[in-house]
Structure 1
Amino acid sequence: MQRHQLFIDGKFSDAASGAWFDTYNPFTGKVWSQVAAGGAADVERAVQAAHRAFTTGVWPALTASQRGALLRRLGDLIARDADKLAQIEVRDNGKLIAEMRGQLNYIPQWFYYFGGLADKIQGAVIPLDKKDYFNFTRHEPLGVVAAITPWNSPLLLTAWKIAPALAAGCTVVLKPSEFTSVSSLEFVKLFEEAGFPPGVVNVVTGYGKDVGTPLVEHPLVRKITFTGSDATGRMINQSAAKQFKRVSLELGGKSPNIVFNDANLEDAVNGAVSGIFAATGQTCIAGSRLLLQDDIHDAFLEKLTALASTARMGDPLDAGTQVGPITTRQQYDKVLGYIDIAKQDGAKLIMGGAPATRAECGNGWFIEPTIFSGVSNRMRIAQEEVFGPILSVIRFKDEEEAVAIANDSAYGLGAGVWTADIGRAFRMSSRIQAGTVWVNTYRAVSYMSPFGGYKDSGTGRENGMDAIHEYLQVKSVWINTGAATGNPFTMR
């Protein structure tokens, strides 16, 4: 049985309590590792270490170019160990080895990009309306960042947060999900090898109430970046507001994937399958609401079920597997519960709708790819985030109705539009209330392009040039170049 310790101030150590918790392999349903169960005392040590690293010693003395060089070196090390880290991710969260290898081989780009951006953050000289004054702005790091990541893509989403934070000059305390902590604890070893000073990046594992809450509430934490549920995000936002902390929240989604009658149906069918059954539907951008125009509804549904029924389920470490297990037992039970809710609300089950009992699924937490038709947008299955391989199919007549249905949601993270009409593509991308709109594709992301949500899907942006400004604050500097001080009781 492997054991993984906390990483604080450049050293691995047990939790102050000496406690451990089990982490399970979703494919076997069995414990494969134990992880240190951190608590408030460990959070205190980690935040103090991050604060020291931010205010004294090597890190604040580095130039922006030197920080960038460290980030690029880290990117090289991740590329070197990509396959090893991908294998750990699969054991931890049950996602496919093909996808995890793809993610790990792509993650270095975040560190190359933000490493290059580190010394490109420029202030401005302000052309004032006042004589004899020189005014300019500086962009300065916020300080200690609390980065809280989910269980579905642990290292990819860690890169989205840590790369811009470090490029900005901040330090970090990372709290990974208690369900998928091992890859983060292996990943953090690379920071020391890359040459980052102790305390710049720390990892405290444990449960939300024991680690997440004291981390969010710590007075030395100046910025919180969180990916997870909207319920938890709301609590974090409320807590952060008490101390005026900056927050970035990437929360849930109930993304519409809209297919018009002029779309290339073969491409759109592939896009619908990718949107909901890739990653077993466990993505915040899952296209869980499929909106089909009336006159293609039946033909499209026939093609969709034919393709989805061929999905190969089984061991996520097998390169041929297309649908893996649900990551946690709790989530498995939740998804099955939503299937029952959909049936009770009157949705028509046309595929799946049960635990997968195929021999190749073994004892894992598998659910058959599931499709409901006849769904009303007011049903719970269409309004609430399921986070599993469950697709709701909704009819629409025209553009107006498609927009109305798409926007009739508390969420606004992503959306898909399938059409051959370029005018319609522009109109729909303008009118849909979502942070990302894909046209004739789905689930495309890049380190270069901003990502984030509207409405209950969160606040702030990750990726692209927008992301680094989430970790910076602007200072205005005024220099008197010779003006007399004058009357001290009037504004200059």
Structure 2
Amino acid sequence: MAENLKLYINGEWMDSSHPEKQEILNPANQEVIAIAPKATKEETEKAIQIAKETFESGIWSERTPRERAKVLLQIAEKMEEHLDELAELEMKNNGKTLREAQSDAADAAHTFRYYAGLLNQPNGQTYQTAEDMETKIVKEPMGVAGLIVPWNFPLLMSIWKVAPALAAGNSIILKPAEITPVTAAKVFELMDQTDLPKGVANLLMGSGSVVGQTIAESHDVDIVSFTGSTGVGRSIMQAATGNLKKVSLELGGKSPNIIFDDAELETAVDYALFGIFMGAGQVCSSGSRILVQEGIYDEFVAKYVEKAKAIKVGPGHDESSQMGAIVSKKHMENILEYIRIGQEEGAVLACGGRRIERDGMEQGFFIEPTVFTDVSGDMRIVREEIFGPVVTIQKFEDEEEAIHTANDTEFGLAGAVFSKDQNKAMRVINKVRAGITWVNSYHLSYVQAPWGGYKQSGIGRSLGTYGLDEYQETKQINVSLDPKPIHFF
């Protein structure tokens, strides 16, 4: 039976007054797994006001770092007690494989532990700026944080924002994607069982045009953090100008994966597969443009296509599934349209390209791993983010061309280089205009390191100490050590 989800405002679960509800589907079979409310503008404004009042009360914002860390650890422990349930919910709601969902759940709990530990580290600076003056640099919470997360990593992306925002002492409003709110609701259920004060964390489900827009426009929201498409990011930035609130954006990507002739071929092929087909390509940092040096191009393509054809696509609960479903029918149709465009543009469809409607997957949203070769840099499938299991393979001649082609994009989120020559690999990766990069690997990332991109891939950083900084104000306090008249006038 489908679960009826609710809004969470001021520590209370409540229904929305909006008459419409959102059916939440399992993309592997279109089973309705939950019914979600759609918060109204008035309910959004109420949650913002509650968050503001809670922040100003100091019940959380004025707690010591040690006290806040204690609560973050409680949340981590609750999540760890329910890792299997969280992974199962994530798999059913998003369509990813169970092994991917299990990894996400474990990483999410670890993120709370990381920020709890970070709170106990030195934070701030002191300068002896003059003989009789001392300047202190301190970090303070910003206030109310509006957190808007995407559907591709509903659990992990939520925690990437919630954990540092709470660690910094802010009050928060979390808005999950309309079609993937289930794990966020479960996390708030678990947070409700900890010592987190009522009103500090609020959960709103609903449309971006109502809930997201209201959060972005509100003069009582001090920071809005958004992960999603570049187009929506632009609209949030425009809406946020009303009170010049801080905006943190992690947006799209069209990331290059550069493979030189001297790369270890099996390793390069393996990571290039992982780089695009993990998460069915619905990952902002996916290596969706593979650039291969001409000396190994044919051999690489042959091995790559052979292995791509062998990837086992199926529902997440099947342990043999290596790639899961596309998140929704609408998004599946968008990907299939890009595949059609690629063929029209003259690219060679080396494998895949079709919806899978066999072996019990007839009701699900599955697409074959798709590889295009013989592409040119002006094709839409090379320039635009497809956000699905579709990859293009381009040929390059030398180092200079590789760098130029890699950077010939409006995005700058991620990139990689494969070569046995470490000097060359470092020389090239240093010239790739992207915020998240790898040498001889792909996709592996860690909570300690900042996450974000250049150019139209966003503004700001998540994770690491940089992620905590996103939700803090920096204040200087100048203290006179010998107060006396200055005699300026």
TM-score bin, normalised by smaller chain? over 0.9
- Take 2:193 and 2:409, find their aligned partners in 1: how far apart are those partners? 46
Superposition map of 1:366-377 within 5 A:
366-377=366-377
- Structure 1 stretch displaced more, 447-456 or 53-62: 53-62
CA–CA separation in structure 2 for the residues paired with 1:55 and 1:16: 28
Contact 2:60/2:170, CA 8 A, preserved across alignment: no
Opposite residue 28 of structure 1, the aligned amino acid is N
Q: Residues of 1 paired with 2:33 and 2:418: CA distance? A: 43
Deviations 1:229-273 (A, max 9, x none): 000011111222331111111000000111111111111111111
Amino acid at match of 1:265: L
CA contact (8 A) 2:10 2:202 kept: yes
| Aligned twin of 2:12 | 11
**1:66 equivalent in alignment to 2:49:** no
Q: Which moved more, 1:89-98 or 1:237-246?
A: 237-246
What amino acid is aligned across from residue 345 of structure 1 in structure 2? Answer: E
The amino acid across from 2:16 in the alignment is: A
- 1:28 counterpart SS class: coil
C-alpha distance in 1, partners of 2:418/2:236?
36
* Corresponding position of 1:165: 165
1:278 is matched with 278
Deviation at 1:480, TM superposition (A): 2.7
* Per-residue CA distance 1:353-395 (angstroms, 9 max, x = gap): 1111222423101111111101111111011000001111100
- Quick check: 2:61–2:141 contact (8 Å CA) kept in 1? no
CA distance in 2, matches of 1:58, 1:18: 35
CA distance in 1, matches of 2:315, 2:124: 51
Match of 1:331 in 2: 331
| In structure 2, C-alpha distance between the alignment counterparts of 1:137 and 1:438, rounded to whole Å | 34
Q: What is the CA distance between 1:120 and its match in structure 2?
A: 2.4
Letter in 2 for 1:363: Q
Measured in 1, the distance between the counterparts of 2:168 and 2:416 equals 33
- The residue identity in structure 1 corresponding to 2:60 is W
Q: Where does residue 195 of structure 2 map in the other structure?
A: 195
Which residue does the alignment assign to 2:406? Answer: 406
**1:37–1:457 distance in 2 versus 1, CA, 3 Å:** same
Aligned partners of 2:46, 2:241: CA distance in 1, in Å?
24
CA contact (8 A) 1:313 1:361 kept: no
Aligned to 1:314: 314
CA–CA distance in structure 1, aligned partners of residues 432 and 62 of structure 2:
46
Unaligned runs of 5+ in 1: none
For residues 177-209 of structure 1, the C-alpha deviation after alignment (integer angstroms, 9 at most, x for no partner) is 001011111111111212101111111000111
CA distance in 1, matches of 2:63, 2:192: 16
1:105 aligns with 2:106: yes
Is residue 257 of structure 1 aligned with residue 257 of structure 2? yes
Which residue number in structure 2 is paired with residue 115 of structure 1?
116
The alignment partner of 1:127 has SS state of strand
Deviation of the 1:488 alpha carbon:
5.6
Q: Please state how far the C-alpha of 1:67 moved relative to its aligned partner.
A: 0.2
Partners of 1:152 and 1:178 lie apart in 2 by 12
CA distance in 2, matches of 1:392, 1:211: 36
Aligned to 2:302: 302
CA distance in 1 between partners of 2:70 and 2:284 (Å): 32
Q: Which range is displaced more, 56-65 or 377-386?
A: 56-65
Task: Establish whether residue 50 from structure 1 lines up as the match of residue 34 from structure 2.
Answer: no
Letter in 2 for 1:107: A
CA distance in 2, matches of 1:377, 1:74: 47
Task: Tell me the CA shift for residue 133 of structure 1.
Answer: 2.5
Inter-partner Cα distance in structure 1 for 2:286 and 2:274? 9
How much has 1:72 moved relative to structure 2? Answer: 1.2
- The equivalent of 1:214 in structure 2 is 214
Alpha carbons 2:426, 2:439 under 8 Å: kept: no
**Distance in 1 (alpha carbons) for counterparts of 2:86 and 2:123:** 35
**How far apart, CA to CA, are the structure 2 residues paired with 1:39 and 1:320?**
42
Q: Following TM superposition, by how much is the alpha carbon of 1:57 offset from its aligned partner in structure 2, in angstroms?
A: 5.2
- 2:139 aligned with 1:144, yes or no? no
Map 1:476-491 → 2, pairs under 5 A: 476-487=476-487
Q: Find the aligned partners of 1:486 and 1:58 in 2 and give their Cα distance.
A: 39
Render the CA deviation track for 1:286-321: whole Å, top value 9, x for unaligned: 111011110111111111111111111111111210
Q: Give the secondary-structure state (helix, strand or coil) at the position aligned to 1:363.
A: coil
In the alignment, structure 1 residue 232 sits paired with structure 2 residue 232: yes
TM-score by length of 2: 0.97
Residue 447 of structure 1 is matched in structure 2 by 447
CA contact (8 A) 1:257 1:415 kept: yes
| Paired position in structure 1 for 2:361 | 361
| Preserved contact between residue 121 and residue 139 of structure 1 (Cα < 8 Å) | no
Aligned to 1:459: 459
Q: Hey, what's the Cα distance between the residues in 1 that align with 2:470 and 2:18?
A: 34
Q: Check conservation: 1:26, 1:325, Cα contact below 8 A.
A: yes
Deviation for aligned residue 1:18: 4.2
Deviations 1:151-199, CA, capped at 9 Å, x for gaps: 0011111111111111111111000000101111111111121210111
How far apart, CA to CA, are the structure 2 residues paired with 1:339 and 1:143? Answer: 45
Tell me if structure 2 keeps the 8 A contact 1:415–1:434.
Answer: yes
Could you report, residue by residue, the CA deviation over 1:99-154 in whole angstroms, capped at 9, with x for unpaired residues?
Answer: 0011112222111110011232522222213x433321211110110000000011
Say whether the 8 Å CA contact 1:281–1:388 is kept in structure 2: yes
Q: Name whichever of 119-128 and 254-263 sits farther off.
A: 119-128
Identity %: 37
SS of residue matched to 2:318: coil
AA matched with 1:39: T
Query: Is the contact between residue 22 and residue 31 of structure 1 (CA under 8 Å) also seen in structure 2?
Result: yes
Code of the aligned partner of 1:193: Q
Which amino acid is 1:262 matched to?
D
| Contact persistence 2:368–2:389 (CA under 8 A) | yes
What is the aligned partner in structure 2 of residue 21 from structure 1?
22
- Would you say the 8 A contact 2:62–2:169 is kept in 1? no
Query: Quick one: distance in 1 between partners of 2:153 and 2:242?
Result: 30
Distance 2:33 2:370 in 1: 29
Distance 1:30 1:431 in 2: 47
Deviation at 1:328, TM superposition (A): 1.1
Deviation string 1:308-345 (CA, Å, 9 cap, x unpaired) is 11111111111210111110111111001101111111
SS of 1:202 mapped into structure 2: strand
Indicate if the aligned counterparts of 1:25 and 1:94 stay in contact, CA closer than 8 A. yes
Q: Distance in 1 between matches of 2:53 and 2:449?
A: 33
Which residue number in structure 2 is paired with residue 424 of structure 1? 424
TM-score by length of 1: 0.97
Distance in 1 between residues matched to 2:58 and 2:290, nearest whole Å: 54
Q: What's the offset of the Cα at 1:68? A: 0.6
Please name the residue that 1:175 is paired with. 175
Please tell me the residue identity of whatever aligns with 1:29.
Answer: Q
CA contact (8 A) 1:313 1:360 kept: no
Report the equivalent of 1:40: 41
RMSD: 1.3
